[in-house]
């Protein structure tokens, strides 16, 4: 049974999500549609790109990921149909695949341009319904990538810091995502910290404020205190135990991780 994941900034107040699902079910009635989230901040391509990367490893081979965060809808921006590590993505070519493109093997990338796979009447402001949803549904139904259009000769990526920078014995990173709990997710990845030193050997500075060593979980800090830990996606996160780190530090602090003096 084909699977289509759906990731948008449409929200749940209006009919947009339901309409897109209706189009896909009409073309691919056997497909299972999985809502990733529709609460991406409007037009925030960077946040959607990060979320897409986080969900990618957890879906089976053959999944079609439809991502609609499209501030350039109606312009000359292209719509792409790609394949990475056995899974597919349909999205505007505006940087939404940046994180996936970095971390997974790109097996194919085409431009969606064959109108046979679009709805007959195209609006200028709802390409999620008229172009991307039918393309995703046809792809899930077995249409080959090459049928949708020519091979893409370029790909838009975001000028975002995907990995932290080396800084002496440590790392200098940035916040790339703020979750609904107010936790700050950074681009400092667990694999970047040199083994076999323990997490407690590292000192974390957030906007110049020392929040101590890297801990295992929220409760390793007192209620109301900051804590740094590696979250479920393998990135260093900054939280306030039962609070909101974004309110304490803002959404864009520089985060530094360095070895404590007795372990350098």
Handedness of CA 220, 225, 227, 231 (dihedral sign): positive
* Look-up of token digits 């590590």: 85
pTM: 0.90
Residues 165-263, CATH architecture: Beta Barrel (2.40)
Q: What backbone torsions phi and psi does residue 152 show, to the nearest 5 degrees?
A: -70, 130
> pLDDT digits over 108-128, tens only?
999 999 999 999 999 999 999
Show me where the domains of the chain are located. 3-148, 165-263
Protein fold of 3-148: Rossmann fold (3.40.50)
| CA gap 78, 92 in Å, rounded | 6
| 180-216 per-position pLDDT tens digit | 999 999 999 888 876 645 667 889 999 999 998 999 9
Burial class (CB in 10 A: 0-12, 13-18, 19+), 239: buried
- Please tell me the distance from the alpha carbon of residue 84 to that of residue 51, in angstroms, as a whole number: 16
pLDDT value of residue 198: 66
227, β-bridge pairs: 239
131 closest CA partner among 146, 120, 145:
120
Distance CA 75, CA 169 (A): 46
Residues 205, 218: Cα–Cα separation, whole Å: 17
β-pair type (106-111, 79-84): antiparallel
Q: Phi/psi at 260 (nearest 5 deg)?
A: -70, 155
* Cα–Cα dist 33/21, whole Å: 8
Query: From first to last of its 264 residues, what are the pLDDT tens digits of the chain?
Result: 899 999 999 999 999 999 999 999 999 999 999 999 999 999 999 999 999 999 999 999 999 999 999 999 989 899 999 999 999 999 999 999 999 999 999 999 999 999 999 999 999 999 999 999 999 999 999 999 999 999 999 999 998 788 888 888 889 999 999 999 999 999 998 888 766 456 678 899 999 999 989 999 888 999 999 999 999 888 999 999 999 999 999 998 999 998 765 444
């Amino acid at each position: 049974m084909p699977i289509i994941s759906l990731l948008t900034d449409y929200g749940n107040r209006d009919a947009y999500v339901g309409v897109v699902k209706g189009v896909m079910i009409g073309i691919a009635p056997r497909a299972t549609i999985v809502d990733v989230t529709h609460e991406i901040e409007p037009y925030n391509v960077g946040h959607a790109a990060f979320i897409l990367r986080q969900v990618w490893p957890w879906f089976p081979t053959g999944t079609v990921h439809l991502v609609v965060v499209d501030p350039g809808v109606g312009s000359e921006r292209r719509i792409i149909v790609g394949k990475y590590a056995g899974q597919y993505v349909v999205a505007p070519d505006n940087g939404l695949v940046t994180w996936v493109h970095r971390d997974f093997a790109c097996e194919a990338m085409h431009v969606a341009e064959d109108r046979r796979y679009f709805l007959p009447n195209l609006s200028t402001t709802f390409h999620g319904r008229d172009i991307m949803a039918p393309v995703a549904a046809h792809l899930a139904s077995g249409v080959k990538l090459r049928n949708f259009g020519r091979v893409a000769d370029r790909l838009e990526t975001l000028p975002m810091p995907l990995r932290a920078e080396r800084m002496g014995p440590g790392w200098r990173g940035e916040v790339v995502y703020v979750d609904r709990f107010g936790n700050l997710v950074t681009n400092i990845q667990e694999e970047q910290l040199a083994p076999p030193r323990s997490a407690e050997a590292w000192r974390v500075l957030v906007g110049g404020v020392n929040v101590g060593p890297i801990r295992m979980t929220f409760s390793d800090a007192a209620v109301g205190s900051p804590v740094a830990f590696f979250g479920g996606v393998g990135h260093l996160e900054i939280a306030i135990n039962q609070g909101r780190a974004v309110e304490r530090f803002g959404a864009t602090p520089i985060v530094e991780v360095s070895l404590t003096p007795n372990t350098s």
